[in-house]
Structure 1
Amino acid sequence: MSEIDYSLYRPCVGVMLVNAERRAFVGKRIDNKEGDFWQMPQGGVDPDEDPDDAVLRELWEETGARAEYIEVVARLPQELFYELPAELKGKLWGGKYVGQRQTWYLARFTGSDADINLEAHDPPEFCEWKWIEPALLPELIVPFKREVYAAIVAGFRELI
């Protein structure tokens, strides 16, 4: 097996945010015009930012959920990687990366639906959101991320 060139993959965090009913938060991206795809909150880690801090920042930016309503439960022990499809390589992130290497977290949301505000950060990332059964996550994400989502669901299944 060949070594992974980490410099080709954008460092990123993602979070499976679950509510009291053990359903996962998904948002419909504003910029996805190619289908009815939904994703969990995720985003790049800033230079010199700790992933544990980045996950709370990303949650706030994408969902408006304040840290007081978030209980981080677990972190997958390994990073998950995906590559962009050929038509997107060179177009995202200034062409610097071929994909992402992601650190995934499981967190409980202790607030109410009224504590979700997609417009808390400008510009918003999502235009709609909903709670779904975690097992459905791989079906709702863009196809090139399905393996990653299946690994996330498997990795957190016992903790949800």
Structure 2
Amino acid sequence: MTRDTPIAYAMCGLAFSGKSTLARRLAETFSIALISLDAINDERGFDGGNVVDDDEWERTSHIAMERLDGHLSAGRSAIVDDTFAFRFLRERCAAVAARHGADFRVLLVETPLDEIQARRRANDVTRERMALSDAVFDDHVSRFQFPDPDEPVVRLASPDDVARFLAAEGARHR
């Protein structure tokens, strides 16, 4: 790993955990590309807060990996903003990074479920972002596969964790 080695970051965590907010902050701080699956779904005319067929999510994932491939092939780091709720999705992203000799990190945003539920309720009032139906959210939580110990995970459970991560990674992107 050298300073010039690009990095593929995979944001991981439950919906409403703060992944997108953190991804935008990291992309801006590190001056790297942000690839958002929600944005890709929006481009494709889908409302990810309601039922989007698994086949369509799969296509969106492949579009995101094509975009990641383009950045890494040009020697640029990127953040992929998704829940990465299944290990096979994280492995897919890791494989794209490996093809380019890039480093790979899963950034697991660990937000307590009660805080996530409070954010969802607040969003029902503010409508700052797309709502997520209870049925879709409950299904998401029940099927979520948290990263295993053998995965390259950076756990971000507090502002202090984020500050330490920014300090450690910041030198790589200067």
TM, length-normalised to structure 2 = 0.28
Name the one with the larger helix percent. Answer: 2
More strand by share: 1
The TM-score normalised by the length of structure 1 is 0.30
Structure label with greater radius of gyration? 2
